Each structure stands twice: as structure tokens, then as C-alpha cells.
Amino acid sequence: MNDTAEIIVRVHKNVGRITLNRPKALHALTLGMCETMIETLLDWQADPEIDMVMIDHTGERGFCAGGDIRMLAESGAGDGIAACLFFHTEYRLNHLMFHYDRPIVAIMDGVVMGGGVGISMPAHYRIATERTTFAMPETGIGLFPDVGGGWYLPRLPGKAGLWLALTGARIKGADCLRLGIATHFVEFGAIEGLKKAIIADHRRIDETLKMFRADAGKAPLASIEQDLNRLFVGDSVEQIFEFLEMDSSDWGKAQLAALKTKSPQTLKVAFRQLALGESAEDFGEHMAMEYRIGARVVRKHDFLEGVRAVIIDKDNAPQWAPQSLEGVTEAMLDEIFAPLPPEDEWTPLT
């Protein structure tokens, strides 16, 4: 075991354990981390002694805050090759986990955003705590809710997934449990004991989880779900804006204010992405679509400007282009979603 590595790989009896180990960066994924996880999972898939996989993290701040956004922006400002390589590899990891033939346990403690969503949602067991903060905040930096977000989010109850995708709203453990994002809720103080118990006898994981189960408390979403499902409907982002503008509730006003800070281009990309993802029947084909989007938006003005404003200069005043929803045409979206040249398309691992 190498405690300084970005990924710590261990085997406990019949349980393979992958520990994210970039605590200062909230375990944001790098290309090397994705490659190591793929290699490890493939090795374990060929090993009849490995019956289960556990994914957790070092430190106490978060599971995984996303991907290496600065690298993506630097690449996007140039030829975009490094960014596309990262997306291609990360999406292969997402796809491998989605179809993995052993149960995966993801300890979703702390921050779970972006790339962290991509490596937790495919897990069979998704454990949230009172410290869990789940979000797909990409519309705020001109990106889009990728890593399979277009597949998972529209499959959440009601319009919760569309709301999360467009607003970038952050939800806690109780809401994750209510929406099915998490399968179980365990108090943070019991997590280490839970992990030890699973490793001690992975065959009794269901009984172990029942023993460690805690009361998540009332989910805040319960009080706004009716408004959410009433307002985040329609055939376009413009219609959602119209419904919110007509709404007199404080919650509706807050959502409208939040949406007005997001990239208009990205709002429309995410809306179309989730609509297509909802009707998709094959996860691999869906990831190919997300790769096409990623390969293009990473080089566009809004992503580079969003990263500048939110991550580099931190003035939180991005100048989007186009500045309005009306300025984002269907032709612009068609170009972003169009197939790539055959040699550039995303492919899953064979």
C-alpha cells in the first residue's frame, strides 16, 4: 500500500478496496486516478477471489468533488486533446462500473459532486451520512451534468433530477435517501465500524447495513416537492422560466434567481441531454452522446469563462455568450450534440 498515491488499492479477504487519496483537492479525479481504477477493477473482475468492491476516501472533507476542472479548461483553451482523453477514460470507468459483475459499495460521505457522482451512482450500495452533500453544479461553470448524469437524473422521482441539473442545487443525506440517490443512511461516526463489519463478512452486508442504519430525519425536499414538480415542467427551458416568473412563492423566486446566474447555453444543453437520457435504452450509447457534448463544450466560451469566474479569479461574475436563452439556437445545440467523426467517437472497454 502506498499512502501517498492518489488511489490506494487494497484487498481485504474477498473485498477489493479502492480509496481516493487527494484530500486537499477533495479527491477530484485525475486521468491517472481513472486509469488506476479501471486497471484495478479489470484485475479484480478476472479474480474469482474478489466478491465485492468498496470505494471510500481518506480524510473527512468529502468523497469526490468532481474532476480536474483546471486541466480541462487549460486543454479546452488549446487543442482540447487532453480534455477529450480525460473524458474518454473517465466515461469508460463509469461504463465499467455500471456493468460491473460484482457488488460495489460506495461510501458517499461528505462532498459528492460531478465525477464523484459518476463513480457512486453505479454502485449497488450507496451509503450517505449526515455530512453528505450531493450536487451536479456544472451549469454554473458552463459545463454540463456529465458522467452519466443525463441517465441517472431523469430517472429520479418527479422532476427532481431536472431541478438538480439546471439549478446545481445541493442536497443532503436525507434527501439523497428520499430520491434513491443513496440506498442507505448511516451516521458518520459509525462509518468506520460499518466498513470493518462489511470487510469482516461481506456476505452479510444486507444484515450489516440494517444494523448500522440510522434515522436520516425529515428530508427537506418533502416540503418543496409539490412546487418542484409543478414548476420544472414544459417543453423547454424558456417554459420553465415562464412558470417560475409567474409563481409567487419564495421558493420559486429563489429558483428563478439561481437559474439566471447559470450559462444559458448549458441550461439548454442539460435540458436536451436529460430528455434524450430519459428515453435512452443503452447506457453505453448514452455515454457516447455525453462524450460528444463534452468534446465540444470544453472548448467553448462559456466553459472557459465559467472556470475563470468561479475557480480561477473567483469573482463569480461570468459573462456568458450568448447572454440569453433566446440567443441559444437549436442549430447551436444540434452542433454540440452531432456525431463526431467515426475515429473520434467514444467507445466502451471491450
Amino acid at 209: L
Q: Has 158 been annotated as catalytic? A: no
Residue appearing with cell numbers 450531493 = 134
Q: Has 67 been annotated as catalytic? A: yes
Choose the catalytic residue: 90, 109, 146, 290.
146
Choose the catalytic residue: 138, 290, 302, 305.
138
Q: Has 80 been annotated as catalytic? A: no
Q: Which of 87, 144, 145 is nearest to 344 (CA)?
A: 87
Q: Has 138 been annotated as catalytic? A: yes
Contact call for residues 11 and 17 (beta carbons, < 8 A): yes
Choose the catalytic residue: 66, 67, 161, 306.
67
Choose the catalytic residue: 16, 76, 115, 168.
115
Active site residues: 67, 115, 138, 146
